[in-house]
Chains A and B, each alone.
Chain A
Amino acid sequence: MLLQLQGIQKRFGGIHALRNGNLEVDSGQVHLLMGENGAGKSTLMKIVAGMYGRDGGQMLWRGQPAEFRTPAEASANGIAMVHQESLLAPHLSVAENIFLGREPRLAMGFVDRRKMMAEAGRLIQEHHFPLQPEWRVERLSPAGKQLVEICRAIQHGSSLLIFDEPTSSLSEAETKEVFRIVRTLRERQMGVIYITHRLEELRSVGDSVTVLRDGETMHTGPLAELTTEGLIQHMVGREVASIYRREAQPPGEELLRVENLSRAPLLEGISFSLRAGEIAGMAGLIGAGRTELCRALFGLDVMDTGSVQVAGKQVTIRSPRDAVRAGIALIPEDRQHAGLARQLPVAHNLTIAHLGAVSRFGFLNHPAERRVAEEYGKRLRIKAESPRQLAGRLSGGNQQKVVIAKWLVRGARVFLFDEPTRGIDVGAKVEVFETMDRLAKDGAAILMVSSELPELLQVADRILVMRQGHLTGELPGNTTQSAIMQLAALESSQGTLS
């Protein structure tokens, strides 16, 4: 057995992040580590990789008790971790990153560049990675960066490779590529631990699985023994309707009408409309222009041509200010970065887009602000100690609600959700869907951009499909994944990694 973990415990201050972490991996095996956000997956793996010490339990490495105090020690023993956020030096080349800290040397300590390039090239070729040793890492896509980290691990002679949610930022094609690589690693008799919370992808790579919940191992064993429903139940600890279905409402008046929107080089001649009370899905491959369309509609990028009407009124959108004034809200994919002022109290985050309502001649009315914050906090069931709690201290799901509630305060009626479920766990996803549903019932028009086709099929009343900057079609909400993929992928080339 390569690695055995028994009863691992870890505390951070008063929080018991891990109570009972158990797991076994053998060489030539792909072991999935699953659980909701905060279940302790990353913590457990960081203990293995020497980033954290443990407070209890036992770790056996190749049958011997072991404790790695630093990542360097773990790496010297053959354990490497591919991180969710890339830990590479962006300004250096692929080869330099692969050999970072272990550069081949000439006499007097000079780096042997020629040897480094040659060895990196050999490594890349052997695995058929679409990389070149001299490419600068900052130019690579997220998937490309992960390949570099994998090269680094292989070059270091690792026998156990830990992937921390490798596909959360990758496109479909890139995900397939990562799976292919994981399989070749398995063939080379390496052990792989693969952290994930995406249910769809696991069957194609995993041999065995461990499910963590609240820091405890709920289940560990061969993957084949467990149904998907059983997995979800272990993860969330309760029966979850694995299929959320929205009751579509008869749509009301037209709230958004976009005609012939273009923006070079990507968007061309896009026309569609949204009605009050409906959720329209937007499908397409990575790079189809969905995010760019949202950005143009929200004024982050200025459109070259096109007309936009909000609730029957012609509007000109040249900046986010124009969009906000017109009643359009964007909930960006990167909510934490672009949606939330983490150091400010919840109340201030809620009113930031609509301070005019709680101020007079530029002076703030604090009691009015508090009332607004309390009202909307209740309406969206935001779990905060008080409106004065810092927004950064809330859980991910509640932060998301703050970002949405801000737009309710503002009275926005057209909502653009860009990948609303990316990076959140199963339980929180359902809550996001419910929030969107409530918005729609209250008369909002919603455009939901998502790469998760099953989710679009669950939530959207109809589905628009984009390909290479064009709107290629519209499908009813009860369509099939293959019908969407036909519109999204036809004639399109595969995604590339650089």
Chain B
Amino acid sequence: MIQRLLPFFTLIALVVGLSLASPHFLTPTNLSSVVRQTAVINIMALGMTIIIIAGGIDLSVGSILAMGGLLGTMAMEKGMSIPTGVGVGIMAGMFWGWSNGFMTAKLRINPFIVTLGTLGIVRGLALIISNGLPVHQIPQGFSYLGEGNLLGVPFVLWILLVCAVAMHIILEHTRLGRYSFAIGSNPEAALYAGINVDFFTTAVYTIGGMLTGLAGMIEASRLMTGQPTAGQGYELQAIAAVVIGGGSLRGGEGSVIGTLVGAFIMGLLANGSDLLGISPYLQQAIIGAVIIIAVAFDELRKRKLS
């Protein structure tokens, strides 16, 4: 039990530690910047959560995020409204999520390979479409998505909250969620139980892609550009958030609350390193180490149980 709660304690310890170590940590400006920074990873990680629960993985989220942001901003550049542009970004993410799911389910290719492939394909296509140049002609109002406030807190926090609640309901209260757990826990048993494994696998990746597309629009809004090179290395952070939060890469385990905690731990590590003047190079190494430590603890817990 204590080890299950370890991520929570780590998060609290980080908050307390950083408040003591830096006078700038507990300021409204800094906190809202943490929330904004983390929201992108957080929303991607929510999609990654259901994918990992269903026994899959998506390495292509960084590229899909860039593609979503790029197509969404290009749509606005061509004169479409802001909501339409956001919709285009989400649809782009959805399409690539679907194709990941389709290839995994129907062609029976290992998702690690499928999404490693699409990581390259989607990034390449994004660079071709944009000629490698960022999109700048974006309506001013678009910045509200990533930088605006609603009722005194960052707008992205509301989006994150809605996504998190929705994902929680999907996982715990719908057949889709239950089937995801079943498929991840034992795909063969799921097939034998008459579950349409291919359909639900595809659905899970599609949902993940949608959320990644949304994250891509938030990222574009924060930068006020559509960057074909955005999101590089984000897959590492999204997967880390899920795994730190108790998700198992063997499938069948994971939760929304765990992923949120995991993502905020990562966000605070980054923010704390900035505040304390730790080099960004070292930050990457720290994040990598945290992933290994989190999984090691989880494995130890499971070994003790069995």
The B interface is mostly helix, strand or loop, or mixed, namely: helix
Q: Are A353 and B193 touching (Cβ within 8 A)?
A: yes
Q: Does B10 reach chain A (CB closer than 8 Å)?
A: no
* B194 in the interface (beta carbon within 8 A): yes
Q: Determine if A323 and B178 form an interchain contact, defined as CB atoms under 8 angstroms apart.
A: no
CB atoms of B186 and A337 under 8 A apart: yes
Write the nearest CB–CB distance from B55 to chain A, whole angstroms: 11
> Chain B: which residue is nearest A338 at the CB level?
B188
Decide if B195 is an interface residue (CB 8 Å cutoff): yes
Q: Which residue of B lies closest to A326 (CB)?
A: B194
Known: A324-B193, A330-B192, A352-B190. A342 touches B174 (CB 8 A): no
Q: Which residues of chain B come closer than 8 Å to A339, judged between CB atoms?
A: 189, 192
Residues in A neighbouring B192, C-beta threshold 8 A: 298, 320, 330, 332, 338-339
Query: Given the interface contacts A337-B186, A344-B252, A364-B173, does A352 sit within 8 Å of B178 by beta carbon?
Result: yes
A310 to chain B, nearest CB (A): 14
Chain B hits for A356, CB < 8 A: 175
Question: Which chain B positions have C-beta within 8 A of A366?
Answer: 173
Task: List residues 180-196 of chain B with CB under 8 A from any CB of chain A.
Answer: 181-182, 185-186, 188-196
Residues of A within 8 Å of B190, CB to CB, are: 341, 352
Identify which of residues 81-101 in chain B touch chain A, using a CB-to-CB cut-off of 8 Å: none
Task: Please measure, in the bound complex, the distance between the C-alpha atom of A343 and the C-alpha atom of B184, giving whole angstroms.
Answer: 9
Quick one: which of A249-280 are within 8 Å of B by CB?
Answer: none
Q: Is the CB of B181 within 8 A of A363?
A: no
Nearest chain A CB to B184 CB, angstrom units: 8
Q: Contact check: which of A321, A342, A359, A410 meets B186 at CB < 8 Å?
A: A342
Beyond A337-B188, A364-B175, is A344–B193 a contact (Cβ under 8 Å)? no
A300 and B194 CA atoms in complex are apart in Å by 10
Distance from B62 Cβ to chain A, minimum over Cβ atoms (Å):
29
Chain A 316-337 interface 0/1 with B at a Cβ cutoff of 8 Å (1 = within): 0000110111000010100001
What is the size category of the interface that chain B forms with chain A?
20 to 34
Q: How far is the CA of A57 from the CA of B28 in the complex (A)?
A: 67
Q: Find chain A residues with CB under 8 A from B176 CB.
A: 362
Bound Cα distance from A337 to B190, whole angstroms = 10
Q: Is B253's CB within 8 Å of the partner chain A? A: yes
User: Is residue A2 within 8 Å, beta carbon to beta carbon, of the partner chain?
Assistant: no
- Count A-B contacts at CB 8 Å: 75
CB pair B191–A355 under 8 Å, yes or no, is no
Kindly state the separation between the CA atoms of A230 and B179 in the bound complex, as whole angstroms: 48
Q: Is the CB of B193 within 8 A of A352?
A: yes
Would you call A348 an interface residue if the criterion is a C-beta within 8 Å of the partner chain's C-beta atoms?
yes
The CA-CA distance from A214 to B41 in the complex, in Å, is: 53
Return the contact of A321 from the options B179, B182, B194 (Cβ within 8 A): B194
Contact A364 B178 (CB under 8 A): yes
A341 engages B175 (CB within 8 Å): no
Q: How many Å from the CB of B151 to the closest CB on chain A?
A: 29
A217 to B174, CA, bound (A): 51
Residues of chain B lying within 8 A (CB to CB) of residue A298: 192
B252 lies within 8 A of A343 (CB): yes
CB–CB A338/B178 < 8 A: no
Task: Report yes or no: A340 in contact with B175, Cβ–Cβ below 8 A.
Answer: no
Is the CB–CB distance between B194 and A323 below 8 Å? yes
| A348-B178, A362-B174 known; A340+B186 contact, CB < 8 A | yes
| B173 near A363: Cβ-Cβ < 8 Å | yes
Contact A341:B194 (CB < 8 A) given known A355-B175, A359-B175, A364-B175: no
Query: Across the interface, which residues of A come within 8 angstroms of B252, CB to CB?
Result: 341, 343-344
- A330–B185 Cα distance when bound, in Å, is 19
- How distant is A370 from chain B, measured CB to nearest CB, in Å? 14
**Given the complex, which residues of B lie within 8 Å of A330, measured CB to CB?**
192
Min distance, Cβ B243 to any Cβ of chain A, angstroms = 16
Find A362's partner among B172, B175, B194, B196 (CB 8 Å cutoff): B175
Minimum Cβ distance to chain A for residue B276 (Å): 39
Contacts of A410 in B (CB 8 A): 194
Most buried by A among B175, B176, B189, B253: B189
Q: A330-B192, A332-B192, A352-B193 are in contact. Are A344 and B174 (CB under 8 A)?
A: no
Determine how close the nearest CB of chain B comes to the CB of A360; give it in whole angstroms. 10
What residues on B are CB-neighbors of A340 within 8 Å? 186, 189
Distance of A337 from chain B, by nearest CB (Å): 6
Partner of A406, one of B173, B179, B186, B193: B193
From 284 to 318 in chain A, residues with beta carbon under 8 angstroms from any chain B beta carbon are 298, 300
Tell me the bound Cα distance from A348 to B182 in angstroms.
9
B174–A363 CB distance below 8 A: yes
**Which of B175, B181, B185, B193: most chain A CB closer than 10 A?**
B193
Query: When the two chains form the complex, which single residue of A321, A338, A348 contacts B195, counting CB atoms closer than 8 Å?
Result: A321
Q: How far, in angstroms, from A332 to B191 measured CA to CA in the complex?
A: 12
Please provide the 10 A-B residue pairs with the shortest distance between their CB atoms, ordered closest to farther. Answer: A324-B194, A341-B185, A353-B193, A343-B252, A341-B186, A343-B185, A338-B188, A321-B194, A352-B193, A355-B175
What is the interface of chain B, defined by CB distance below 8 A to chain A?
Answer: 172-176, 178-179, 181-182, 185-186, 188-196, 252-253
With A338-B189, A340-B189, A341-B189 already in contact, 10 other A-B pairs whose C-beta atoms are closer than 8 Å: A298-B192, A320-B193, A321-B194, A337-B188, A338-B192, A341-B186, A342-B185, A344-B185, A344-B252, A352-B182
Can you list 27 A-B contacts with CB-CB less than 8 angstroms, sorted by A residue number? A300-B191, A320-B194, A321-B194, A324-B193, A338-B186, A338-B188, A338-B192, A340-B189, A341-B185, A341-B189, A341-B252, A342-B185, A343-B181, A344-B185, A348-B178, A348-B181, A352-B178, A353-B193, A355-B175, A355-B179, A362-B174, A362-B176, A363-B175, A364-B172, A364-B175, A366-B173, A410-B194
